[in-house]
Amino acid sequence: MPACSRVQAARAPRRSANSSAADRGARHVEACDDAVEIGPAPAVESYLSIPRLLDAARKTTAEAIHPGYGFLSENADFAEAVEAAGLVWVGPPAAAMRAMGGKIAARQRMLAAGVPIVPGFQDAAAGDAALARAAGEIGFPVLVKASSGGGGKGMRRIDAPGDLAAGLAGARREAASAFGDPTVYLEKAIDRPRHVEMQIFGDRAGGILALGERECSIQRRHQKIVEEAPAAAIGAETRRRMAEAAVAAGRAVGYVGAGTVEFLVDRAERFYFLEMNTRLQVEHPVTEETLGIDLVAAQLEVAEGAPLPAEWQDRPPRGHAIECRVYAEDPETYLPRSGAVLVYEEPSGPGVRVDSGIGRGSRVGIDYDPILAKLIVRGEDRAAAVERMRRALSEYVILGVTTNLPLLRRVLDSEAFASGDTDTAFLARLPGAQRRRPPAEAIVAASAASAAAGALVPMDARPFPAGPWSETSAWRNR
């Protein structure tokens, strides 16, 4: 949660970082000019503490706060507190965050804006009888989903009417535990969809643009592990209509800064609004690599009042980019791992980029999300990018802590990925997928720990152990 200082152009800006006690010596701390320790390892006493973050900003005389893409990055109360403290919030308006924070309200707003949504039923006051009638009208299978939060928590796939009552009760319990809100709604379950998101960017004068799409279908535990831009199998007309829908979504909430509108796309290339992430995404580098735009720098410029550059309009992608998320986790069970990094060797070469949070000697603990690094490559086309990523993964060496590198290599080596035949159930069909089902007792323990660790944190950066869900379902809402 860095506090980014922006000062007069006549002098170089200083970059300030906040860190918990667990992150002393972390790379993001070493990269900044100033660092303030804001509390102990538990996120609720450090990265989720608004007073401590604002106190750190005052100590470093920061002029602006960049929210990052985890912890409080989508917290409207934090945005308002930053501005009330006289600081610049490098993010969207709090009103836009609230408008998209609740899934039911967001779906209703998107309907009003003419954005296609997944068929469903979103009456927050509906009881079980009304939900049962609606499920019958929608047609099974349906998804029960939590109105608040994300990451697959409070979500159940219901295949038959007799399973609905138990599914509703279980989803409500989990949603209440994780987000403090038991409200649920229904969506039609779409068979083997692709998960495609559109990057949008707005300025303070009301301008808003779509900056291309990203394919994010390869997921585990309802979280992405491989992303690419542009999408592998989206036609030009679908891309155009999706961009228009994403811009309409942004306009509907007065969006400013970087945001992402996420869609499910079926086999006929019909697309449906899934949700809007009111922050920078973990996978934003693939957009940067294909468009030649520094999205973080652009966030800072827009926060200072600069308009969107005219040359961004209808900017075509340059080549193809792929990102693999490297996690400290068992590649078979997806359970998080910890340990000391004894050997660390990053791949390099033309078209290879590594955004890493570790190095040799780093200690990987159990306090936060287990992501270690993002490996990004760019090639002149998708085939070249796939081959470059295969080589880069083969050269990546991390010893001392278990990682998902073997799983990423299997994904990139598969014929299905090479051909672009991906969807949200991709990993479940990889050879050996059933071996990756964690023991039931491990799931229960890890899920309980995740719920207790920090329900306000987006799953992309939630303090772990993050809940490794038992089912290999393709469905997610984060």
DSSP string, 402-429: --SHHHHHHHHHSHHHHHT---TTHHHH
Q: Are residues 253 and 144 in the same domain?
A: no
Last residue of a domain, one of 158, 188, 218: 188
What is the pLDDT at residue 465? Answer: 32
Beta strands in 266-406 (DSSP E): 271-277, 320-327, 339-340, 343-345, 352-356, 363-364, 371-379, 397-399
Mean pLDDT in residue range 326-338: 95
Q: Reply yes or no on whether the pLDDT at 454 is more than 50.
A: no
What is the pLDDT at residue 4? Answer: 42
Cis omega (within 30 of 0) for bond into 463? no
Mean pLDDT in residue range 260-267: 95
Which tens digit of pLDDT belongs to each residue from 10-60?
A: 345 778 778 898 888 788 788 888 888 999 999 999 999 999 999 999 999
Q: Reply yes or no on whether the pLDDT at 472 is more than 50.
A: no
What is the pLDDT at residue 124? Answer: 87
Last residue of a domain, one of 188, 215, 249: 188
Asked whether residue 248 is assigned to any structural domain, the reply reads yes
What is the pLDDT at residue 23? Answer: 87
Which tens digit of pLDDT belongs to each residue from 116-155?
A: 999 999 888 899 999 999 999 999 999 999 988 666 788 9
Asked whether residue 253 is assigned to any structural domain, the reply reads yes
What is the pLDDT at residue 457? Answer: 33
Q: Reply yes or no on whether the pLDDT at 449 is more than 80.
A: no
Q: Are residues 316 and 330 in the same domain?
A: yes
What is the pLDDT at residue 34? Answer: 82
Q: Are residues 373 and 344 in the same domain?
A: yes
Q: Are residues 198 and 174 in the same domain?
A: no
Q: Are 136 and 122 in contact (CB under 8 A)?
A: no
In DSSP terms, 89 is beta-bridged to 65
Q: Are residues 326 and 375 in the same domain?
A: yes
Asked whether residue 94 is assigned to any structural domain, the reply reads no
Greater confidence, 178 or 262? 262
What is the pLDDT at residue 18? Answer: 82
Q: Are residues 160 and 224 in the same domain?
A: no
Number of domains in the chain: 2
Q: Reply yes or no on whether the pLDDT at 316 is more than 90.
A: yes
Asked whether residue 447 is assigned to any structural domain, the reply reads no
Asked whether residue 87 is assigned to any structural domain, the reply reads no
What is the pLDDT at residue 17? Answer: 78
Q: Are residues 271 and 342 in the same domain?
A: yes
Domain that holds residue 259: 194-440
What is the pLDDT at residue 90? Answer: 97
Mean pLDDT in residue range 461-471: 32
Determine the 3-state secondary structure of 469 from DSSP.
coil
Can you give the CATH number for the domain in which 165 is found?
A: 3.30.1490.20
Q: Reply yes or no on whether the pLDDT at 296 is more than 50.
A: yes
Q: Are residues 280 and 403 in the same domain?
A: yes
Mean pLDDT in residue range 222-241: 94
Mean pLDDT in residue range 282-294: 97
Asked whether residue 238 is assigned to any structural domain, the reply reads yes
**Distance between CA atoms of 473 and 186, rounded to whole angstroms?**
16
Of all residues in the chain, the percent with pLDDT exceeding 70 is 87
Greater confidence, 252 or 30? 252
Q: Are 469 and 451 in contact (CB under 8 A)?
A: no
Q: Are residues 244 and 181 in the same domain?
A: no
Of 259, 310, 263, 267, nearest to 287 by C-alpha is 259
Q: Are residues 286 and 420 in the same domain?
A: yes
Which tens digit of pLDDT belongs to each residue from 161-201?
A: 999 999 999 999 999 988 889 999 999 999 899 999 999 99
What is the pLDDT at residue 233? Answer: 83
CB atoms within 10 A of CB 166: 11
Q: Are residues 208 and 322 in the same domain?
A: yes
Can you give the CATH number for the domain in which 285 is found?
A: 3.30.470.20
Which tens digit of pLDDT belongs to each residue from 385-431?
A: 999 999 999 999 999 999 999 999 999 999 999 999 999 999 999 98
What is the pLDDT at residue 366? Answer: 87
What is the pLDDT at residue 453? Answer: 42
What is the pLDDT at residue 11? Answer: 43
Q: Are residues 183 and 316 in the same domain?
A: no
Asked whether residue 334 is assigned to any structural domain, the reply reads yes
Q: Tell me the pLDDT band of 434, cut-offs 50, 70 and 90.
A: low
What b/e string do you get for 190-219 counting C-beta neighbours within 10 Å, with b at 16 or more? beebbbbbbbbbbbeeeebbbbbbbbbbbb
What is the pLDDT at residue 437? Answer: 52
Asked whether residue 106 is assigned to any structural domain, the reply reads no
Last residue of a domain, one of 164, 188, 212: 188
What is the pLDDT at residue 273? Answer: 95
What is the pLDDT at residue 438? Answer: 52
